[in-house]
Amino acid sequence: MATISKENYLKTIFNYKTNSGVNATTAKVAQDLSVSNAAISEMAKKLSDEGLISYKKYKGMELTTNGEKIALKVIRRHRLWELFLVKALGIGWNEVHSEAERLEHHTSEFLIDKIDEYLGFPDFDPHGHPIPKKNGTIPKTPKVILLSEAEKNNVYEFVRVDDRDSELINYLIRIEFLLNTELTVVDKLSFDNSVTISFNKKSLSMSKELTKSIYVKAVKN
Amino acid sequence: MATISKENYLKTIFNYKTNSGVNATTAKVAQDLSVSNAAISEMAKKLSDEGLISYKKYKGMELTTNGEKIALKVIRRHRLWELFLVKALGIGWNEVHSEAERLEHHTSEFLIDKIDEYLGFPDFDPHGHPIPKKNGTIPKTPKVILLSEAEKNNVYEFVRVDDRDSELINYLIRIEFLLNTELTVVDKLSFDNSVTISFNKKSLSMSKELTKSIYVKAVKN
DNA sequence: TTATAAATTTAAGTATACTTAACTTAATTA
DNA sequence: TAATTAAGTTAAGTATACTTAAATTTATAA
Ligand SMILES: [Mn+2]
Ligand SMILES: [Mn+2]
Ligand SMILES: [Mn+2]
Ligand SMILES: [Mn+2]
């Protein structure tokens, strides 16, 4: 049975692989879930016994088909809730992640499908992450890079942002740098790795840290 | 701290007192929550230690001011969710109770206030139960009686129904007997305690069991 | 009033999901 | 290669919320 904890472990293992390209290790999952390494080892054994991950001691873990199915359902619920809270209740896109983090575990398939329908079966959540479909497929995502890797004088579109830092997104709201905004990389400073961009006729310098949370896609001219 | 279990205990103790007029006993709470009497005894001790109920062994339990505050918050969340699911997503009033039963424990004050605002600060949920206000007050409710106690030839309004039996409400939907419907008691049969009512130009016989789930208020002519 | 029945509490044990501390394995580096 | 460090696992223990079975208290009725 997939308890709340197990759902979170599976989701985390899935996201880790998606974001990094490599299998999740004990330490990484522990860090993500803010629990001890020991807790991961114990749970890894259980998830493995239940056929939800394949796990060899000391060698990291990987979702099985069944594990991935559950992970995708949790992520689907999470992202649909986020978009729903924004669209139906006008809640800020910086505030919905933490709500969704809890609601994702307490939503029947019946209810999430109603929400999906209400939203017109959307492909992306408010932070630009793809919403897994009811059938388990994932909408095609554009090829993105971090703003920190963007090249000077090139034009990009802001298409995704890490959704866990409410303060960060709150800053984006304040400077009116919203998803789907077009931007040009005006300058890159080597001594602090800050990036100066222009968008909506404004110019703005972004710190190294900030540019590592912002994903953009190249715009062909 | 109020865990999910504790929230449910407090809510149940509150509702029991509201519905019956007398303090909850171990057995009644156990029945309502579908757990053993032993579980109630244990939890009663903890809730008492935390100052949420006053409890004397073998003598039943009663909410303290603090306990009632928490109970009202849980009930507020429950009933606002129910109405929201009906109004915003068009979910049937027979299907929202079980969803709310889980969501009520995973909703921040921020979110529930947004939902409250969306709904225009409503006084009653889809089953006619009052929705506790943010400040802890409860909207004034009409004086209601069970349909089983209604008198022949009198006119009533259907104002409340027990919300836990989805099948029962589903039947009401099928016969188009909705909340706020005006009805006349046409007949009461003594041999089976069934009640025949007329509403919307239709006539219908209701079993003893059904009339004990339906609350009406007298309509003055 | 005393026996019996009903209600309730206590005791002992289970499952889940954590913790810290100790130990083991793997990777790094001198 | 051997020592050191990092990563991961195991062991022991905690908290919550249940269970069943035994013991106790209270209520009821002969
Ligand atoms: Mn999110
Ligand atoms: Mn979660
Ligand atoms: Mn309800
Ligand atoms: Mn509940």
Mean pLDDT computed over every residue of chain B: 97
Task: Count CA within 13 A, CB hemisphere, residue A187.
Answer: 11
Closest chain A residue to B87, measured at CA: A88
Q: With CB atoms and an 8 Å threshold, state whether A103 touches B103.
A: yes
Report if pTM > 0.85: yes
A42 CA → C15 C1’, Å: 14
Asked whether residue B145, judged by its CB, lies under 7 Å from any atom of the DNA or RNA strand D, the reply is: no
Provide mean pLDDT across the span B176-196. Answer: 97
User: What separation, in Å, do the N-terminal and C-terminal C-alpha atoms of chain B show?
Assistant: 51
Provide the H-helix boundaries in B93-206: 96-103, 109-118, 166-174
Distance from CA of B115 to the nearest CA of A (A): 7
Question: What are the pLDDT tens digits along chain A (221 aa)?
Answer: 789 999 999 999 999 999 999 999 999 999 999 999 999 999 999 999 999 999 999 999 999 999 999 999 999 999 999 999 999 999 999 999 999 999 999 999 999 999 999 999 999 999 999 999 999 999 999 999 999 999 999 999 999 999 999 999 999 999 999 999 999 999 999 999 999 999 999 999 999 999 999 999 999 86
Outline where DSSP puts E strands in chain B: 53-55, 61-63, 145-146, 155-161, 182-188, 195-199, 202-206, 214-218
Give the pLDDT score at B19.
94
**A120-140: pLDDT as tens digits:** 999 999 999 999 999 999 999
Distance from CA of A107 to the nearest CA of B (A): 7
Q: With CB atoms and an 8 Å threshold, state whether A115 touches B90.
A: no
Burial class (CB in 10 A: 0-12, 13-18, 19+), B10: buried
- Partner A contacted by B58 (CB < 8 A): no
Asked whether residue B54, judged by its CB, lies under 7 Å from any atom of the DNA or RNA strand C, the reply is: no
Q: Is A92 helix (H, G, I), strand (E, B) or coil?
A: coil
With a pLDDT cut of 90, the percent of chain B lying above it is 98
Rounded Cα distance between A28 and A30, Å, is 5
Asked whether residue B191, judged by its CB, lies under 7 Å from any atom of the DNA or RNA strand D, the reply is: no
Give the pLDDT score at A121.
98
| pLDDT band, very low/low/confident/very high, at B53 (cuts 50, 70, 90) | very high
User: Chain A residues with CB inside 8 Å of B85's CB?
Assistant: 111
Ion ligand 4: protein residues whose beta carbon lies under 5 Å: B 8, 101
**A63-98: pLDDT as tens digits:** 999 999 999 999 999 999 999 999 999 999 999 999
**B61-101: pLDDT as tens digits:** 999 999 999 999 999 999 999 999 999 999 999 999 999 99
Q: Ligand 2: distance of its center to the CA of A101 in Å?
A: 4
Q: Ligand 4: distance of its center to the CA of B188 in Å?
A: 37
| pLDDT band, very low/low/confident/very high, at B220 (cuts 50, 70, 90) | confident
Q: A164-171 long-range contacts, Cβ below 8 Å, gap at least 24?
A: A164/A97, A165/A213, A166/A94, A166/A95, A166/A97, A166/A98, A167/A94, A168/A94, A168/A210, A168/A213, A169/A92, A169/A93, A169/A94, A169/A127, A170/A92, A170/A94, A171/A210
